[in-house]
Structure 1
Amino acid sequence: MSKTEQTVEIPHLGGSTIGCTFAKPYDPALPTLVLINSYTTSADLYRAQFEDPALTSAANLLALEPYGHGRTRAGYQHFTYWDSAIANLQVLEALGIREAHVLGTSQGGWIAVRMALLAPDVVRGVLLLGTSMDFESPRSQELGCWDGIAFNTPVIDLLAAPVGEDWVVPDEFVDGVFGTAMGGLSEEDRAFWLAAYRTNYSGDAGRHRLRVSTVNLRDRDGLHGRLDEVRCPVRWLHGTADQVYSVANAEEEIRMFTASPDARLEIVEGGQHFLSASNPAEVDAAALDFLREPGH
């Protein structure tokens, strides 16, 4: 794997440094597929995609880490998902990439849709994995989605007080995230992610980034009133073993993209919430198909 890790400076939020990872050196002759990671993970969520020669030969894979995640830092201490969408668009502009498809897992999905709403001339299509377009609503729970308020509030409360510079995110937090999102990890993968989280979330600044990221997840705004303005193709993959958001919710929400010329839901049997990691073969095949569709 010849991935290229870099950061890009943009003006948003008082000046920001955005963590960017290319699967291989950028080729302007190929389409670009932006990859946006899920809650508290990093560009490493897409390790399997970066190692797929068919996918990396067909497109520039560019993982962009949202505010509060990975190597991304901002001049201002508070941020929302709209800010991450704006930042991603400013990164594409800084890199000279005039258009792209955008793939997002969970929170990455709603950042991708925000990008499509903000810059319809830039975003050619969105590929959604294990996501929801709602806020953490009673409707969402009635359709079998998790109780995001109950899950996130104890974390927000736990992270309220300043900590010393020797603080690192507790192992139990990482285990909780991946238990919910993947049904658990192998020992090798657990060791990898524990090391990554300890790097990304350490000291008081790391505590604060983690807390604001959790507040965003719990208190975000929904997109139902805006989905009829998404005018690009939408492909949504959802796993039957997703413990966070339900297939029933995805079936209802895909129909809300009424202005999209091609909005489709594909069910992945046995797929987990972090679908690109649990079912990379299905995700990579869908991404290739999506990129090659006429008009995409």
Structure 2
Amino acid sequence: MSNIERTVEIPHLGGSTVGCAFARPYDPALPTLVLINSYTTSAELYRPQFADPALGSAANLLALEPYGHGRTRASYQHFTYWDSAVANLQALEALGIHEAFVLGTSQGGWVAVRMALLAPDVVKGVIALGTSMDFESPRSRDLGCWDGIGFNTPIVDAFADPVGDDWVVPDQFVDDVFDAALGGISGEEREFWLAVYRANYAGDAGRHRLRLSTVNLRDRDGLHGRLDEVRCPVLWLHGTADQVYSVANAEEEIRMFTRAPEARLETIEGGQHFLSASNPAEVDSAAIEFVKRWG
């Protein structure tokens, strides 16, 4: 990425290193938009946003990688999405950023909402892309969402045993993720992501991070009982071609943010699950409008 990549040291989980990337040098006069990537991707998911001069002029763009992803590492061996929310808040503190908007894709959406619950004075608004606020429940499957347990359990089982230093994530795994998330990708884009995944998920430590990321996705707690405590505006963008979480689910869940100043769902025709990658123009323009309105 043609940006400013660095890591930040924080105290959480016995001491952690959080991978982060700024689109351009930080400007204290601008609001900050934190970008949280989806399952097993990294800050590179937001290359289209980093390349958008209009979005970059409206806000500081700061990609933060959750535990199990990219360059983020913890001293402790286990973590949850709540831990990633705490880590992101501590990273903002370490960077001297006292308030921010938070945009998250899929799992990034529920990390963003956890951040808003934990630190309402810090999080000024949430933009959720192609996400769900539920656990992988029968309810969500009845509403047309994927079978997350069926998808993830074979991965958890396959990556259960220790491996050697020469291990890298199988190509088929990467293909399966992007088939579900984007309906497939071009050959050039596939080669890019294969290289990123091989770098991020190598050796036994890489296998373990990948497995824990999958356990978290499959076994996470839902947020339905907490959503009425979100006090910041929420913009939920959802693609009509999302193969993972359905528009019908989003329509139900957006109404659960009963105390948010505004909670609005916008559907994007033909948009895929990794919406910032499939429809960057629509996502970026919506983000600019949201940040300018609530900033």
Q: Provide TM-score, normalisation by structure 1.
A: 0.99
CA apart distance, 1:16: 0.2
Give the residue type in structure 2 aligned to 1:244: V
Distance in 1 (CA, whole Å) between partners of 2:86 and 2:190 is 32
Partners of 2:195 and 2:2 in 1: how far apart?
21
Could you say which residue in structure 1 is the equivalent of 2:82? 82
Q: Which residue of 2 aligns with 1:238?
A: 238
Provide the residue aligned with 2:134 in structure 1. Answer: 134
How many angstroms apart in 1 are the aligned matches of 2:275 and 2:143? 20
Give how far 1:2 is off.
4.7
Q: In structure 2, what is the Cα distance between the partners aligned to 1:96 and 1:236? A: 28
Q: Kindly report which structure 2 residues correspond to 1:52-91, keeping only aligned pairs within 5 A, or say none.
A: 52-91=52-91
What is the match of residue 43 of structure 1?
43
Counterpart of 1:267? 267
1:94 aligned partner:
94
* Alpha-carbon separation, structure 1, partners of 2:246 and 2:2: 36
Alignment partners' CA distance in 2, 1:59 and 1:281: 16
Amino acid in the other structure paired with 1:213: S
Whole-angstrom CA distance in 2 between matches of 1:174 and 1:2 = 23
Question: Distance in 1 between the 2:19 and 2:193 partners?
Answer: 17
Distance 2:3 2:209 in 1: 26
How big is each residue's C-alpha offset from its partner over 1:230-266, in whole Å with a ceiling of 9 and x where there is no partner?
0000000000000000000000000000000110000
Give the root-mean-square deviation of aligned CA atoms: 0.7
SS in 2 for 1:103: strand
Which whole-Å deviations, capped at 9, do the CAs of 1:107-141 have from their partners, x for residues lacking one?
Answer: 00000000000000000000000000000000000
Q: Which residue of 2 aligns with 1:193?
A: 193
Amino acid in the other structure paired with 2:48: A
Distance in 2 (alpha carbons) for counterparts of 1:147 and 1:280: 27
CA distance in 1, matches of 2:57, 2:113: 25
Aligned to 2:210: 210
Gaps of 5+ in 1: none
Which deviations, in whole Å up to 9, do the C-alpha atoms of 1:168-209 show, x marking residues without a partner? 000000000000000000001000000000000000000000
Mapping for residues 162-201 of structure 1, pairs under 5 Å: 162-201=162-201
CA distance in 2, matches of 1:155, 1:11: 31
Query: Partner letter of residue 258 of structure 2?
Result: T
Q: Which runs of 4+ in 1 moved over 2 A?
A: none
Partner of 1:255: 255
In structure 1, C-alpha distance between the alignment counterparts of 2:47 and 2:99, rounded to whole Å: 23
Task: For 2:239, give the aligned amino acid.
Answer: G
Counterpart of 1:36, as a letter, is: I
- CA distance in 2: counterparts of 1:77 and 1:130, whole angstroms: 29
Matches within 5 A, 1:219-230: 219-230=219-230
Alpha-carbon distance between aligned partners in 2 of 1:89 and 1:173, rounded to the nearest angstrom? 31
Distance 1:189 1:3 in 2: 19
Give the deviation of 1:47 after TM superposition. 0.2
**Letter matched to residue 6 of structure 1:** R
**Matched residues, percent identical?**
81
In structure 1, distance between residues paired with 2:58 and 2:224: 33
Mapping 1:140-151, distance limit 5 Å: 140-151=140-151
In the other structure, the counterpart of 1:118 is 118
SS at 1:259 equivalent: coil
Give the SS at the match of 2:261.
Answer: coil
> How far is the alpha carbon of 1:58 from its aligned partner?
1.0
Q: Does residue 115 of structure 2 align to residue 109 of structure 1?
A: no
